[in-house]
Chains A and B, each alone.
Chain A
Amino acid sequence: MWRYLVRRLIAAIVVLVGVSFVVFLVLHLTPGDPAQVLLGPRATPDELVRLRQELGLDRPVLIQYARWASHVLRGDFGRSIMQHRAVLPEIIRRFSATLILTAGGVMLAFPLGTLGGIVAAARQGTLVDRLTTTAAMLGVSMPAFWVGLLLIITFSVHLGWLPGTGMYSPTGSGGLTDLLVHLILPATTLALVPLSIISRLTRSSMLDVIGEDYIRTARAKGLSDRAVIGKHAFRNILVAMATVFGLQAGFLLAGAVYVETVFSWPGIGFMMVNAILTRDFPLVQGGVLLVAATYVLINLGTDLLYAYVDPRIRYG
């Protein structure tokens, strides 16, 4: 187990280095000269050459990457071009807002999706099953940004029950209640697609398991439906569920980009979209790197979770 853990950790680090290089390279190949942007259109050629030297832009790409990477490792993500502030505190502040939103989505999507899938599978072919399956089909086909707008139109504009923008009321106390009230609509929007996917996958893996011999045995020895589904079958779909949860957690984190834009949620996705439109690359770089690192960690966690939920999996 320990050897496996170490191997997976090393692999994760290799992937992260690769990710950081891709991010650096992609943005480095962008047309447009940062020195020109910083100095403005009236800069003289001499000034441009000097600033490029100062910023190290005249060095080979690999050297530039190494410099940037060594700064990043020391927690220095550079300074935002538009906001003239350090990138790191900004992306951490924004990222925590995104994590709150993602957590809200996870808390809705995971339990409800699992429950929906199990109920549909246990009652296969009944009205409940058909309703759940249809709802899930509609759910996966709905664009999140559209659902968000519909929720705002219904619950904020027409009914006036819930706020449709921001994380706190501008005049409010900024307490937990205020946050939760603001979280309801965006978290629901974010949860919709993963909820549907999870319920579909739970249903199909449950149906696979229900066909197995040991389930028939459990039924034959007189166990209640609840015990058969809840104990015997459920434990055996956990491995499949771990994969789905890992994938969907990453999906939620990424899907937050649209939801944050619709609801003006001050998260990292909303920040990155604006940073791209204003060509503020240090901010984009830092943001992408932070989210990608979290994503790699989630995947690593999923792999380790396998070994925990399924005692049959042993790694040398």
Chain B
Amino acid sequence: MASSGGQAVAQAIGEALPRREIGVRPATSWQRFLANRWAIAGAVVVLVVVLAATLAPFLPLRDPNVTQPARRLSPPFSPGYVLGADHLGRDLFSRVIWGSRVSLLVGVLSTSLAMSVGTTVGLTAGYYGGRADLLIMRGIDILMAFPYILLAIALVAALGPGLLNAMIAVAVVNISFYARGVRSAVLLLREQEFIVAARAAGATEGRILGRHVLPNILAPVLVFVSMNIGWMITETAGLSFIGLGAQPPSADWGTMLADGRQFITVASHVAAIPGLALFILVLGLNLAGDGLRDAFDPRLR
């Protein structure tokens, strides 16, 4: 059942698998990924950010929260301040590195939350069908009727501003995408012969779902995750930027942008630099995600 992920997606969109040419050994998905220069470049960027974030406590960096009024708004390349300092004289380079921890954590946590809840909901609706399906999907329709930022905003309004709540809000907004995708994949799988065979052999519902259905939808779900994670990071940073996410003085890229905004006339780098960091990370994630999609789900292109 090795290549079953791509198969599931191909069936999900109702098309036959591309026929293999005789005599040519088809490239495996990983080979296709490794041959994609842009995807590799993206993966390298992401890897560097992950390394920097992991090693931040061990790197010879200034404390990101220590203020140095004499150095306030120092431009980039000042002695000792590679990226300059912000309005309180805090080292921007150190804050950007520490901020990467927040962004990555946010990306991983909110994506995992959306994926696990959405997949469970979609599996339940698709596999059991009937009234459960109807109820769940109407609920999902209502969730999707909200413009996503508005739903996030309404949730933050209810839970109160803060990084954790912003993350939850962004995750909740994305549940519907996972649920819909998984449901339609499961609907097609449900009638497949190997599922019917498993049922005839007396496998329990739990075993069928866990051993037969789930592995077949995992690849497309993970591909979607890789394309979704950058978006999650941007949205949470956006909520922080408008004051509904992470709160000052935390070293978070969205909050740093909001802080720097007041000084764009005198020191534009304070706002430009954290945004650049965000852009580079998201670009890396998107390039790698696109590469994964092209390699593993060529039909989704």
A residues within 8 Å of B by Cβ? 14-16, 18-19, 22-23, 26-27, 29-31, 137-138, 140-146, 149-150, 152-153, 157, 204, 250-251, 253-255, 257-258, 261-262, 269, 272-273, 276-277, 281, 284, 288, 291-292, 295-296, 299
Set of chain B residues within 8 Å of A142, measured between Cβ atoms: 279, 282
Q: A141-B282, A149-B275, A261-B242 are in contact. Are A276 and B157 (CB under 8 A)?
A: yes
Nearest to B38 among chain A residues (CB) is A137
* B272 interfacial contact with A, CB 8 Å: yes
Q: Are A26 and B279 in contact (CB under 8 A)?
A: no
Note all chain A residues with C-beta closer than 8 A to B150: 254, 257, 272, 288, 291-292
Residue of A nearest to B243 (CB): A277
What are 11 of the A-B contact pairs (CB < 8 Å)?
A18-B138, A22-B142, A141-B279, A141-B283, A145-B275, A146-B276, A149-B271, A258-B241, A273-B242, A288-B150, A291-B150
Interface hit among B71-79, B181-189, B230-238: B230-238
Interface hits, B121-153 → A, CB 8 Å: 138, 141-142, 145-150, 153
Residue of A nearest to B155 (CB): A26
Closest to A146 in B: B275
Q: Which residue of A lies closest to B287 (CB)?
A: A137
Please measure, in the bound complex, the distance between the C-alpha atom of A146 and the C-alpha atom of B277, giving whole angstroms.
11
> Which residues of A sit under 8 angstroms from B149, Cβ to Cβ?
254-255, 257-258, 269
Task: Give chain B interface residues in 12-28, CB to chain A under 8 Å.
Answer: none
With both beta carbons as reference points, the residue of chain B lying nearest to A257 in the complex is identified as: B149
- B264 interface residue (CB < 8 Å to A): yes
CA distance A273 to B276 in the complex (A): 24
Q: Does B96 have its Cβ within 8 Å of any Cβ on chain A? A: no
Q: Is the CB of A150 within 8 A of B278?
A: no
- Within 8 Å by CB of A153, from B138, B153, B242, B272, lies B272
A71 nearest CB across to chain B (Å): 19
- Distance between B10 CB and nearest chain A CB, rounded to angstroms: 15
Could you tell me the distance between the alpha carbons of A288 and B156 in the complex, rounded to whole angstroms? 13
The residue from A19, A250, A255, A281 contacting B157, defined by CB atoms under 8 A apart: A281
**Residue from B148, B278, B283 in contact with A138 in the complex, judged by beta carbons closer than 8 Å:** B283
- The CA-CA distance from A29 to B159 in the complex, in Å, is 9
Q: Are B153 and A276 in contact (CB under 8 A)?
A: yes
Q: Are B241 and A141 in contact (CB under 8 A)?
A: no
- A180 to chain B minimum Cβ distance, whole angstroms, is 23
Residue contact B142 to A149, C-beta cutoff 8 Å = no
* B268, A145: Cβ atoms closer than 8 Å: no
Which B residues, 276 to 301, have Cβ-Cβ distances below 8 Å to chain A?
A: 276, 278-279, 282-283, 286-287, 290, 301
Task: For the complex, give the distance between the alpha carbons of A138 and B154 in Å.
Answer: 30
Q: Are B301 and A157 in contact, with the CB atoms below 8 A? A: no
Shortest beta-carbon distance from B73 to chain A in Å: 14
- Residue from the set B230, B241, B282 with the largest chain A CB neighbour count within 10 Å: B241
Chain B's nearest CB lies how many Å from the CB of A200? 10
15 more A-B contacts (CB under 8 A) besides A19-B142, A26-B154, A138-B283?
A14-B138, A26-B155, A29-B158, A143-B237, A143-B238, A143-B279, A143-B282, A146-B257, A149-B264, A150-B272, A150-B275, A255-B149, A257-B153, A269-B149, A273-B243
Does B161 sit at the interface, judged by CB under 8 A?
A: yes
Q: How far is the CB of B261 from chain A (nearest CB, A)?
A: 6
Expressed in whole angstroms, the Cα–Cα distance for A261 and B301 within the complex equals 35
Please name all residues of chain B whose beta carbon is closer than 8 Å to the beta carbon of A143 when the two chains form the complex. Answer: 234, 237-238, 275, 278-279, 282
Residues of B within 8 A of A18 (CB): 138, 141-142, 145
Given contacts A255-B149, A292-B145, contact A277 B161 (CB under 8 A): yes
- Tell me if B157 and A26 are in contact (CB < 8 A): yes
**CB–CB B241/A299 < 8 A:** no
Question: How distant is the Cα of A137 from the Cα of B42 in the complex, in angstroms?
Answer: 12
Residues of B with C-beta under 8 A to A149: 257, 260-261, 264, 271-272, 275
- CB of B244 within 8 A of chain A? yes
CB pair B265–A137 under 8 Å, yes or no, is no
- Chain A residue numbers with a CB within 8 Å of B286 are 137, 140-141
Contact of A276 with B257 in the complex, beta carbons under 8 Å: no
- On whether the beta carbons of B147 and A250 are closer than 8 Å, the reply is yes
Q: Which residues of B contact A14 (CB under 8 A)?
A: 138
Q: What is the CB-to-nearest-CB distance from A98 to chain B, in angstroms, rounded to a whole number? A: 11
Whole-angstrom distance from the CB of A156 to the nearest CB of chain B? Answer: 9
Complex CA–CA separation, A21 to B125 (angstroms): 23
Closest beta carbon of chain A to B214's beta carbon, Å:
29
* Top 9 A-B residue pairs of the complex, sorted by shortest distance between their CB atoms: A146-B275, A254-B147, A18-B142, A141-B283, A254-B149, A276-B157, A153-B268, A26-B158, A141-B282
